[in-house]
Amino acid sequence: MLETFLPPLQRWLLFSGVILVVGAVTWRGVLVPRLRYRLTGGRLEHEAEHPEVATAEARVAGVAAVVAGVLMVTWGLRLWAQYLDFRDPFTTVGEDLRFLLLDTGWGTIWMIQGGVIALLAVGFLLLRRRAGATAPPPPGLTPEGVLRTTPPLLELPLRWKLVTAGVLVLVLTLGLSSHAMSVPGSRTLAVSVDMMHTLAAGGWIGTLFLVLVTARPRTERARSFLAVQLTAFSPLAMVAVGALIFMGILLSIFHTHEIAALWQSEYGRRLSGKVGLAGGVMLLGLWNWRRGLPALVRAQGREAPGAAQRVWQSAALEVALAAVVVLATAILVATPVPPGAH
């Protein structure tokens, strides 16, 4: 029983956690610069002028710290799940674990992954404390506000850059223990594509989750912050979904050697199921973007909490359905690829 449910549950938690921490750094690195630009009505101003952003930044760092804590537990479970898969009845537990950790590539990646998760937990906690501490204004900024001269990522405070680097290493450790590692001849390409697929999933679903956490539409001001955030998020979501689909198709080509494998093999059937579910999430996202967001923007300043509530709930459903896609992925990645694919 435990052996059946623990491994997929552990992978689901791992993937979900990684998607959320990718979302946290995307929120800060990509969304916040766009947000500030919008909040000032087209003028770029110093971050201290926007209290909502500073409060939201503290909350995002706090949520990410909790997620990193959960990832820590998941990381421990991962060793247990691997041990259950690998267990040799003729040796002791200690010998099995020593072999797993010290003599396999899996063990090396697992240990690196644990180190990165621990550093991220500390990093996000420190960020939560320091959130809102004013960074020096970007070069070329006048008190009246001028258009940016540096790309948003370069304006990112060093502490966030370090955490972003940690998140990238964490995503790399996922790629290094995925099916991409067994693609013959193009392993580096396959791992890079796998990484970009995970980053795109986090950039879309992880960021949306944090937008919803930081702007619960309880007051008029929070409703307007939700509208501003979702408006700034839409172009990012479009790029992320495009990249997710493109990288997903490449991964599907890597892991299934012919189109018939999509229905003739167990792997292909599970992949098709996942793609069907992902299509549903994307359609809901499309509806939220084309119908929900314009209704929310139109309702601004009209004391109409209903529109904001509806959009928030519908976007929350989008995130919840994506969690089901991640569960389907957690099952897919442990399914052997069709014969002849690798």
Q: Which two tokens stand for residue 264?
A: 């003739």
Quick check: 179 binds ligand HEM (CB under 6 A)? yes
Tell whether the torsion through CA atoms of 120, 59, 164 and 113 is positive or negative: positive
Q: With CB under 6 A as the contact rule, which of the stretches 62-70, 113-121, 159-167, 244-252 interacts with ligand HEM?
A: 244-252
State the nearest-atom distance from the C-beta of 331 to ligand HEM, in Å.
10
Q: With CB under 6 A as the contact rule, which of the stretches 22-30, 126-134, 135-143, 324-332 interacts with ligand HEM?
A: 324-332
Distance CA 18, CA 320 (A): 16
Quick check: 326 binds ligand HEM (CB under 6 A)? yes
Amino acid identity for residue 76 in this structure: G
Q: With CB under 6 A as the contact rule, which of the stretches 45-53, 222-230, 249-257, 299-307 interacts with ligand HEM?
A: 249-257
Quick check: 332 binds ligand HEM (CB under 6 A)? yes
The single residue among 22, 53, 205, 308 that binds ligand HEM, judged by CB under 6 A, is 205
Name every residue whose Cβ is closer than 8 Å to that of residue 266 and which is 6 or more positions away in sequence: 335, 336
Quick check: 190 binds ligand HEM (CB under 6 A)? no
Cα radius of gyration rounded to whole Å, the chain: 21
The single residue among 210, 299, 325, 327 that binds ligand HEM, judged by CB under 6 A, is 325
Q: Which is nearer to ligand HEM, 82 or 224 (CB)?
A: 82
State the nearest-atom distance from the C-beta of 10 to ligand HEM, in Å.
13
Q: With CB under 6 A as the contact rule, which of the stretches 81-89, 153-161, 211-219, 251-259 interacts with ligand HEM?
A: 251-259
Distance CA 334, CA 178 (A): 9
Using an 8 Å Cβ cutoff, are 217 and 305 in contact? yes
Q: Which two tokens stand for residue 8?
A: 């997929």
Q: Which two tokens stand for residue 296?
A: 């929310």
Tell which residue, 211, 201, 259, has the closest CA to residue 233.
Answer: 211
Tell which residue, 266, 250, 239, has the closest CA to residue 191.
Answer: 250
Residues that bind ligand HEM (CB under 6 A): 15, 174-175, 178-179, 194, 197-198, 201, 205, 244-245, 248-249, 251-252, 255, 271, 275, 278, 281, 322, 325-326, 329, 332-333
